[in-house]
Homo-oligomer: A and B are copies of this chain.
Amino acid sequence: MGQVAWKGLFLSLFDYKTEKYVIAKNKKVGILYRVVQLSILAYLVGWVFIVKKGYQDTDTSLQSSVITKLKGVAFTNTSELGERLWDVADYVIPPQGENVFFVMTNLIVTPNQRQATCPESSSIPDALCYQDQDCPAGEAVVAGNGVRTGRCVKDRDSIRGTCEILAWCPVEKRSKPKKPLLANAENFTVYIKNSVRFPKFKFSKVNVLPTDNKSYLKSCRYSTEHPYCPIFVLGNIVRWAGSDFQEMALEGGVIGIQIEWNCDLDKAPSECNPHYSFSRLDNKFVEKTISSGYNFRFAKYYQDAEGVDYRTLIKAYGIRFDVMVNGKAGKFNIIPTIINVGSGLALMGAGAFFCDLVLLYLIKKSNFYRGKKYEEVKSSSRKSLSSPTLNGNQSPDQLGGL
């Protein structure tokens, strides 16, 4: 190619090529297309931009730290334990104040257990026996507390007994509690301190609002009137989760405390506030099946003067609180904005495609418009003088337009 040709090529690079359009003076399809355009525009502006804030870059990988601290004491007076006061170190397990904590509301205490032999609890089906042969020595009782010694222990005059076992003796008595021991726990309070950080935007916030009024933070209680007070009454939490505290305290359960941060960082940082919600996490639905509620066993170990181990076994019923934090932050960013506008416009193309289908195949004069839209060219044909755009005799093309 000569120099002139190269120059021409180069210049033609800066010619602007634009699609040629056919104006179909058909009001029905025209109105249809405008309606489609407006719907897409409304979707784009209303949903993508206003509701979903599509012009923002978002960060959902927040770093969160939760510190919890309970306050409250309860006094009990039972025949088994006598007068006893329960404080935080007694009823919170584990004591560390992490995002999951358990408040003991009821308990079955089996004191002074020692490694020895004793009859298995009669409430365990597998331990029932009529004679020593029913208790093969060395075999563990299924769902029981120990290993059989080979003896069948009967009350006198009784023909049925339970196998003697080697275990922590005496074994726990299976007595379902009638009312929660620490019913008072309803009035305990928990202070929840939650710091979040959105690493992408280097933005941190705490759920404890800065205030000059120290006594406010000592005396306030979270409620709809005090949505930013970080101190919660346990009874309220359970009620807001849709359960009854006394009922839950008896059998135990799990409550979720959701803290949600939904921050629009295009606004002032003070507008970024936590939103709390409460729900019961252990489905009550299965309460009729095994292991309803929430309980677990733990032991306190002691040694007597001879150095022999003994323990106090505690079956603790109570409420586990799971503090779950999630959130997202958004900030204006040009890239998601462009992408959302671009994909909105691409949707317009889909709308045009749909209207084309109507114009070319569904209306009366579609044959005429098809002829106008599609200009047939054949490389092998002699050049005809009449413009091909005027030629109406199209090939049948019902499916070809897709």
Contacts and interface: CB of A to CB of B under 8 A. Distances in A.
A303 to B, nearest CB: 5
B37 A16 contact: no
Interface stretch (A127-135, A243-251, A384-392): A384-392
A98 B96 contact: no
Interface string A6-36: 0011011111111111111111011111100
Contacts of A95: 93, 296-298
A123 interface: no
B302 A303 contact: yes
A45 interface: no
A138 B75 CA distance: 8
Given A291-B191, A342-B347, A75 B140 contact: yes
Contact of A21 (B94, B206, B286, B375): B375
A373 interface: yes
**Residue picked from A167, A304, A378, most chain B C-beta under 10 Å:** A378
A353 to B, nearest CB: 6
Interface string A126-151: 00000000000010110111110000
A218 interface: yes
A372 B324 CA distance: 62
A11 to B, nearest CB: 8
Listed residue (A16, A102, A111) with the most chain B CB atoms within 10 angstroms of its CB: A16
Contacts of A31: 14
A85 B166 contact: yes
A302 B297 CA distance: 19
A362 interface: no
Contact of A388 (B90, B204, B389, B399): B389
A250 to B, nearest CB: 17
A370 to B, nearest CB: 10
B69 A291 contact: yes
Interface in A337-377: 338-339, 341-343, 345-347, 349-350, 352-353, 355-356, 359, 365, 368-369, 372-377
A402 interface: yes
18 contacts: A13-B30, A14-B34, A16-B23, A16-B24, A17-B21, A18-B352, A18-B359, A19-B373, A22-B377, A69-B296, A73-B140, A73-B145, A75-B166, A85-B115, A85-B146, A90-B299, A96-B320, A217-B290
A63 B281 contact: yes
Q: Chain A interface: which size bin?
A: 35 or more
Given A20-B19, A20-B373, A282 B193 contact: yes
Contact of A282 (B144, B195, B217): B195
Contact of A279 (B63, B205, B258, B300): B63
A87 interface: yes
A320 B94 CA distance: 14
Interface in A213-239: 214, 217-218
B20 A21 contact: yes
A29 B167 CA distance: 84
B375 A389 contact: yes
Interface string A63-102: 1110101011111000000011101111001111110101
Interface stretch (A152-160, A175-183, A305-313): A305-313
Given A14-B30, A15-B400, A345-B353, 17 more contacts: A8-B395, A9-B396, A11-B27, A15-B24, A18-B21, A18-B22, A19-B352, A63-B258, A67-B291, A73-B145, A75-B166, A89-B168, A93-B95, A206-B286, A217-B289, A368-B377, A389-B389
Nearest to A281: B65
A27 B9 contact: no
